[in-house]
Each structure stands twice: as structure tokens, then as C-alpha cells.
């Protein structure tokens, strides 16, 4: 009996996810369609709340087809509703966004929109640090709530009235940060600031060593970049992007 019930439920679930799958016997097709539409409607509503620009930009038929395909084809790795937006971004990044009838910037726009909810919901704790430490001689520590991001497409500008047909010649560099007011702020980054922040993410060394690496990368001496780099580090500390130095 438990095995029979399990198979009935699995048949129902497969059909609700994808009506191309056989329907469970003994249930009216009209009732199954209503049941399926309730699930699809809830999913569409949840995704629409997390991706308002994407929702407003895609044609209704495109959006509905995308939601149906996500529901039918993708296997989420978590049952948490708060993680649904991340799963949708993963679905697009794994290839759904490359479909010929979908815009090529779709996956990047979705990721850009997802960062806001991801940071709002983040329970990340900042590591131990000295907020007044010497940023040149110590190891500068980037806040876990500050993310430097780079996109090929101008994700900040995409919307119903701006649909780019080719990627930008220069990457779109953005800092997304949850500040002490518990709001998520977006700001454009200059190339030097982006390069420095990505170094802080990936290497543990002194601020002076970070600036030396940047100087080498652009082909100048560290003395030429040091004043500007030190000022940038201090500015990032004031903004809470850099916490101080590692304790």
C-alpha cells in the first residue's frame, strides 16, 4: 500500500510539473489543470517579486514559457522559498538563458537582481578585525556584505525601454553592499577600485602588497600608484566596504 500511494503521488507530481508526462488515473483532466495552474501561478508570483525588471522586460509569452520550462525541467537543490531566486539564476546560468528566443543578457540581469535579495537575507557574520588598523601595513579585510561584480552586459540600464543587442565594449563594474541602514546599495566602480576589491577577495596580504600588484599589472611603479591607492583604501573603510585589517 505505501508503495502504491508513493507511485500515485509521484505520477501526480510529474504531471503537475510537466503535462507531457502521463496523468494519474482517476482524476479529471480539468481538476489537474487547475491544480497545475495554482502551482505555476505561485511560482510566477514568487519569481516576479524577486526579478521585477526581468518580469517587466520580457514579453508575457516569453516569461510564461520560461517559468513553465523552469518548473518542468529544473531540479532545485533546496526546498526553501528564500532560495528560489538563486535556483532560478542557476537555471539561467546553466544554459536556459541561451535559448534562441530569449535575450542573451537574461542570465546576467537575473544575477544582478538576485544580489539584492541575497544580501538582504544574508546572515553572514563579519570576521574579527581591527577597524583602526594600518591599511598599508596590515591585511585589509573586505566586508562579507560588499560584493564587487563585473558583467558583460549593461545590467544597470536594461529595462523595457532599453534592450541592448550587443555586449558593452567595457565591462559593467558594480559594487553591491548592504550597509548599516540594512538597505542594499548599488554603485558603479572605477576599474582601479574593482581590481583592488577583487584582490582583497582573493588574496591575504598587506595593502602595500596589493597596491604593488596593481602597479605591476598596469606597468607603473608603486610610488606612482601609492597615494591614490592609499586614499582609495581609506575611502572604502569610511564606506564600510573595507572593515579594517585582519585581527
For residue range 201-238, what is the model confidence (pLDDT) as tens digits?
999 999 999 999 999 999 999 999 999 999 999 999 99
Domain co-membership, 99 together with 138 = no
Domain of residue 232 covers 127-247
Residues 132 and 159 in one domain: yes
* pLDDT value of position 98: 54
Q: What is the pLDDT of residue 103?
A: 92
| pLDDT score recorded for residue 1 | 46
Residues 205 and 106 in one domain: no
**CATH number of the domain encompassing residue 198:** 3.90.930.50
pLDDT at position 2 is 60
Q: For residue 100, what pLDDT is reported?
A: 60
Are residues 35 and 133 both part of a single domain? no
Does one domain contain both 94 and 192? no
Based on the domain organization, do 109 and 2 belong to the same domain? yes
pLDDT the model gives residue 112: 98
Say if residue 135 is in the same domain as residue 74: no
pLDDT, position 3: 66
- Residue after which a domain boundary falls, among 104, 121, 138: 121
pLDDT mean for each 10 residues of the chain (247 residues): 74 84 84 86 91 95 91 84 92 75 93 97 93 97 97 96 92 96 96 96 96 95 95 97 95
DSSP state of 96: G
Tell whether 90 and 156 lie within a shared domain. Answer: no
Q: Are 150 and 187 in the same domain?
A: yes
Alpha carbon distance 227, 13 (integer Å) = 62
- One domain for residues 144 and 193: yes
Which residue in this structure is represented by grid cell 505520477? Answer: 11
Return the pLDDT at 162.
93
Residues 109 and 144 in one domain: no
Question: Domain check: are 227 and 131 in the same one?
Answer: yes
Q: Which of 65, 87, 121 is the last residue of a domain?
A: 121
Angle of CA points 111, 117, 121, to nearest 5°: 135
Q: How far apart are CA 27 and CA 6, in angstroms?
A: 16
Boundary of a domain, candidates 69, 98, 121: 121
- Domain count along the chain: 2
Torsion of CA 47, 48, 53, 58, to 10 degrees: 90
Amino acid at each position: 500500500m505505501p508503495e502504491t500511494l508513493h507511485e500515485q503521488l509521484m505520477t501526480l507530481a510529474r504531471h503537475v510539473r510537466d503535462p507531457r508526462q502521463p496523468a494519474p488515473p482517476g482524476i479529471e483532466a480539468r481538476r489537474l489543470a487547475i491544480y497545475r495552474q495554482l502551482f505555476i501561478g505561485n511560482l510566477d508570483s514568487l519569481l516576479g517579486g524577486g526579478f521585477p525588471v526581468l518580469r517587466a522586460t520580457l514579453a508575457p509569452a516569453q516569461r510564461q514559457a520560461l517559468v513553465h520550462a523552469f518548473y518542468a525541467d529544473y531540479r532545485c537543490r533546496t526546498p526553501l522559498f528564500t532560495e528560489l531566486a538563486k535556483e532560478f539564476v542557476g537555471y539561467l546560468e546553466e544554459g536556459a538563458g541561451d535559448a534562441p528566443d530569449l535575450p542573451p543578457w537574461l542570465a546576467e540581469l537575473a544575477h544582478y537582481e538576485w544580489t539584492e535579495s541575497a544580501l538582504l537575507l544574508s546572515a553572514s557574520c563579519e570576521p574579527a578585525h581591527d577597524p583602526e588598523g594600518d591599511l598599508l601595513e596590515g591585511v585589509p579585510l573586505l566586508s562579507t556584505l560588499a560584493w564587487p561584480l563585473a558583467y558583460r552586459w549593461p545590467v544597470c540600464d536594461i529595462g523595457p525601454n532599453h534592450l541592448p543587442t550587443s555586449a558593452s565594449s567595457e565591462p559593467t563594474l558594480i559594487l553591491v553592499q548592504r550597509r548599516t541602514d540594512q538597505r542594499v546599495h548599488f554603485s558603479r566602480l572605477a576599474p582601479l577600485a574593482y581590481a583592488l576589491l577583487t584582490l582583497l577577495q582573493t588574496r591575504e596580504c598587506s595593502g602595500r602588497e596589493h597596491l604593488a600588484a596593481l602597479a605591476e599589472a598596469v606597468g607603473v611603479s608603486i610610488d606612482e600608484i601609492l597615494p591614490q591607492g592609499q586614499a582609495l583604501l581609506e575611502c572604502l573603510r569610511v564606506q564600510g566596504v573595507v572593515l579594517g585589517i585582519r585581527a
